[in-house]
Amino acid sequence: MKYAKIKTKDNRVFEGYLVNETSEFIIIKLKNGYNIGIRNQDILELNKEEIESKYENIEYKKLESRNNKISILATGGTILSKIDYRTGGVHMLTKLEELISLVPDLLDYVEIKNIEIPFSIASEDMLPDNWIEIGKILVKLLNDDVNGVTILHGTDTMHYTSAALSFIIKNLNKPVSITGSQRSSDRPSSDAFFNLLSSAVYDNSDIAEIAVVMHGTSSDIFAYAHRGTKVRKMHTERRDAFQSINSLPLAKIFPYNKKIEIIDNNYRKRNNNSPYLDDKICKKVALIKTYPGSDPDIIKYYVDKNYKGIVIEGTGFGHVPTNTIDKKYSWIENIKYGIERGTIFVMTSQTIFGRTNPFVYSNARLLYNLGVIYAEDMHPETAYVKLMYVLGHTENYDEVKKMFLTNIAGEIGEKSFYEFFNKE
Amino acid sequence: MKYAKIKTKDNRVFEGYLVNETSEFIIIKLKNGYNIGIRNQDILELNKEEIESKYENIEYKKLESRNNKISILATGGTILSKIDYRTGGVHMLTKLEELISLVPDLLDYVEIKNIEIPFSIASEDMLPDNWIEIGKILVKLLNDDVNGVTILHGTDTMHYTSAALSFIIKNLNKPVSITGSQRSSDRPSSDAFFNLLSSAVYDNSDIAEIAVVMHGTSSDIFAYAHRGTKVRKMHTERRDAFQSINSLPLAKIFPYNKKIEIIDNNYRKRNNNSPYLDDKICKKVALIKTYPGSDPDIIKYYVDKNYKGIVIEGTGFGHVPTNTIDKKYSWIENIKYGIERGTIFVMTSQTIFGRTNPFVYSNARLLYNLGVIYAEDMHPETAYVKLMYVLGHTENYDEVKKMFLTNIAGEIGEKSFYEFFNKE
């Protein structure tokens, strides 16, 4: 591992681990955890020395035992990737050690007992079968002698996976954090280190819930632990892209102080249960959005393909076009068509925030009376994952409705909750 | 019109216009603009008197001329509806006068020159043909001697209509506000009056843009005027459900002071152009969302139905599943299938906030190289409406791409814009 001391032409001095060197600039990791990029043309003096790193080629299991033991389950994503500065493309890190070596604080704080990397994919490629595969390994890691488990995951579909694990892992006994990064770990502005450290703090907490742990603001002050069923990626690029939906985050984490502040006291506590996997999910479920001019025959398309469930992202409180003027745009007849064939319909709202309600307007009451299940305050992605889970267990309408509207993992919130965003 | 004075059993006194009386309670409109509902059982004394109202049976055109003239174009929605307190259902107001009579301040401030009610529908039933119909009447009203026009509209799809009007009305010369309410106008907590008055203030401003004018917070302090192409309903029930997406609002409006504060100085100014309608839109456009396990054959479904354009709500920066393990989940082949047949593909993000970017990850670069058009920072609904507009003018790929990526009505924002929500 290389250590660099740099003096710039305007007399500033920087030193830290050498992260990357290109023909244009050099990136070093400062003591405060930030990476900084300096243009070669601005450098007056550069001294590099080879130093022995306690973080390189770590034999995890041989570290002397500490109190804070965690395991890592890595599945891919930006946090495991690295920019190729020649092509601009992003590549996977060959070794997780490369990443960990860049977070010195991490190994001062926790012992990493196990690392499992079942696959390494971009999260847009994550499939329901991957959720099950992750779940299997997670159960194994949770039954081991660790305080918690950190899952590394791409951010694009992290909230789908966090919802899925919340439903399929039963008897959860310890904290499970899912984290990732919005910028690859060798970029000056990478959020990888901050998030990884925050996850380790969460893993050593008292909260036995599946949580997405990511930056709480755009600066390095605190991270949020968002409940796995109530979180969504709400920005393409910001570090604080993840937001709790219709709920407050579980906790606020200050990674540099190793401090966690509980926000929602109503959480599942660390316990001595034995977690296990309930992997029965139905993959014949679709998620469809309505909009002005949308084609209701799309319902028929899925029903005729033998789909068991359809989650609709309606408008407002949960409405669909009911046009009486131009029947070809009316969704009602097609929903009837599906219901007559046993398809389960769940209604959510494309507003993302807020609770659905079939009782305010007659157009929605009509759907409700037909048998459409209104998803309370579940946002569309969580409703989609939950319907897959429920239909994996029963296809009987009454049982589906009952199970779907029963709180399994904090996905159905208090009726009084009315906050918009995390404005803290 | 009735005026009521109420004394309650706990000695409080209320007076105001009588809005509604039921077997359970009475609603009156207080001087401060709020409605209040009082249970009959709590009432000690109730005095009602018939008063002559300057707001009843108004003959709009006979009012003495004031400087502040506006016209109203009413299309339906909650703002034009009234609760039936016997059934709990919501009905349409028979006369717009009923509504206006509840906003005394309005007629002290503006003269309403014309009222047009082409139809009265819930906005989930709004179709692209309705946008055109509204556009035709709007042009007529704008060419008349008024300062601006207020459009009353259901909130569910208000942002689709505001985007559509932004594209199809050319040479816009005056302010056009679109407003509505989240609660019907006879409810104690109705936002109808506040929004209507805010719209009137906007209509008399210097901003010649199509704007959604709705509550800025959950209390009656100010409204925002959101640019028609950069706004979205983001909550099922809150009064401040509308949020500017990837942009700041145009202005903040304090209706009780008749004051408007410009936020974005880069707006189109009131001018002497002659507005006209460009009604060429293509209705064969679909909006599809990807998610883990989503069926890519949905692309074929639309392509084979001869759809000209497909807007994809991808994940993150604009990604779709590219699975190499299980080809049946890969979207790439199907997108190729569509492109080979001349279908235009536009990529947006289901994060709603943030800018798409095909250059960060190779999966997206692949799509970009195939010819998928990345929608910059347009959110999915605006991209959908814009693609309809563009395909109404040309189906040539190069021309579509050029027109789609050219700013028409403020829909493409600055690259540096990075705000999440309106946190003011």
Beta-sheet strands, E only, within A104-250: 111-116, 148-152, 169-170, 176-179, 210-215, 223-227, 231-233, 242-244
For residue range A67-78, list pLDDT tens digits in order: 789 999 999 888
Q: Do domains A60-277 and A285-404 have the same CATH topology?
A: yes
Q: Which residues of B touch A76 (CB under 8 A)?
A: none
Q: Which residues of A touch B313 (CB under 8 A)?
A: 289
Active site residues of A: 78, 155-156, 233
Beta-sheet strands, E only, within A30-179: 35-39, 43-50, 69-74, 81-83, 90-92, 111-116, 148-152, 169-170, 176-179
Of the candidate ranges A9-13, A109-113, A308-312, the one whose mean pLDDT is the lowest: A9-13
pLDDT at B163 over 70: yes
State the alpha helices, DSSP H only, in A156-296: 158-168, 192-203
Question: Is the Cβ of A186 closer than 8 Å to some Cβ of chain B?
Answer: no
- Cross-chain CB nearest to A127 (options B285, B305, B323): B323
Q: What percent of chain B lies above the pLDDT cut of 70?
A: 87
Q: What is the mean pLDDT of residues A188-199?
A: 86
Is domain A2-50 classified as CATH 2.30.30.520? Answer: yes
For residue range A125-171, list pLDDT tens digits in order: 999 999 999 999 999 999 999 999 999 999 999 999 999 999 999 99
Cβ contacts of A227 within 8 Å, gap of 6 or more:
A166, A209, A210, A211, A244, A247, A249, A250, A264, A409, A410
Question: Is the Cβ of A216 closer than 8 Å to some Cβ of chain B?
Answer: no
For the domain made up of A60-277, give the CATH fold.
Rossmann fold (3.40.50)
Question: Is the Cβ of A381 closer than 8 Å to some Cβ of chain B?
Answer: yes
Beta-sheet strands, E only, within B142-250: 148-152, 169-170, 176-179, 210-215, 223-227, 231-233, 242-244
Give the nearest chain A residue to B327 (CA atoms).
A125
Cβ contacts of B302 within 8 Å, gap of 6 or more:
B286, B288, B310, B338, B343
pLDDT at B127 over 90: yes
Indicate the average pLDDT of chain B: 88
- pLDDT at B58 (0 to 100): 38
Q: What is the mean pLDDT of residues A293-314?
A: 97
Nearest to A5 by CA among A28, A32, A24, A34: A28
Per-residue tokens: B282: 């293509």
Q: Which position among B75, B150, B155, B229 bears the catalytic label?
A: B155
Helix or strand or coil: residue B261?
A: strand
- pLDDT at B193 (0 to 100): 86
Query: pLDDT-based confidence at A41, cuts 50/70/90?
Result: confident
Of the candidate ranges A349-363, B54-68, B168-182, B191-205, the one whose mean pLDDT is the lowest: B54-68
pLDDT at A60 over 60: no
Q: Which residues of A touch B219 (CB under 8 A)?
A: none
Q: What percent of chain A lies above the pLDDT cut of 70?
A: 86
The whole-angstrom separation of Cα B394 and Cα B87 is 50
**Who has greater pLDDT, B310 or A84?**
B310
**Strand A373-374 to A344-349 pairing:** parallel
Active site residue B155: yes
- pLDDT at A422 (0 to 100): 40
Q: What is the mean pLDDT of residues A242-254?
A: 95
- pLDDT at A192 (0 to 100): 85
Supply φ then ψ for residue A56, to 5 degrees.
-95, 140
Question: Is the Cβ of B322 closer than 8 Å to some Cβ of chain A?
Answer: yes
Q: Which position among B8, B140, B156, B295 bears the catalytic label?
A: B156
Query: pLDDT-based confidence at A299, cuts 50/70/90?
Result: very high
CB pairs A-B closer than 8 Å: 197
Q: What percent of chain A lies above the pLDDT cut of 90?
A: 63
pLDDT at B157 over 60: yes
The whole-angstrom separation of Cα B166 and Cα A71 is 53
Query: Which of A79, A123, A124 would you mutate first to test chain B, the one with the most B CBs within 10 A?
Result: A124
Indicate the average pLDDT of chain A: 88
- pLDDT at A29 (0 to 100): 72
Q: Which residues of B touch A160 (CB under 8 A)?
A: 291-292
Query: pLDDT-based confidence at B349, cuts 50/70/90?
Result: very high
Supply φ then ψ for residue B64, to 5 degrees.
-65, 140
A271-298 exposure pattern, b = at least 16 Cβ within 10 A, e = fewer: eeeebebebebbbbbbbbbbbbbbbbeb
For residue range B398-423, list pLDDT tens digits in order: 999 999 999 999 999 987 676 654 44
A361-A363-A366 Cα angle (round to 5): 110
Task: Map out the domains of chain B as residue ranges.
Answer: 2-50, 60-277, 285-404
Per-residue tokens: B399: 């021309």
In terms of Cβ atoms closer than 10 Å to its own Cβ (0-12, 13-18, 19+), residue B297 is middle
Q: What is the mean pLDDT of residues B256-278?
A: 94
Of the candidate ranges A29-33, A50-54, B62-66, B232-236, the one whose mean pLDDT is the lowest: B62-66
Is domain B285-404 classified as CATH 3.40.50.40? Answer: yes
Question: Is the Cβ of B285 closer than 8 Å to some Cβ of chain A?
Answer: yes
For residue range B69-114, list pLDDT tens digits in order: 999 999 988 887 765 555 555 555 556 776 777 676 788 888 889 8
pLDDT at A413 over 80: yes
Beta carbons of B48 and B214 less than 8 angstroms apart? no
Query: pLDDT-based confidence at B56, cuts 50/70/90?
Result: very low
Q: Which residues of B touch A388 (CB under 8 A)?
A: 293
Query: pLDDT-based confidence at B171, cuts 50/70/90?
Result: very high
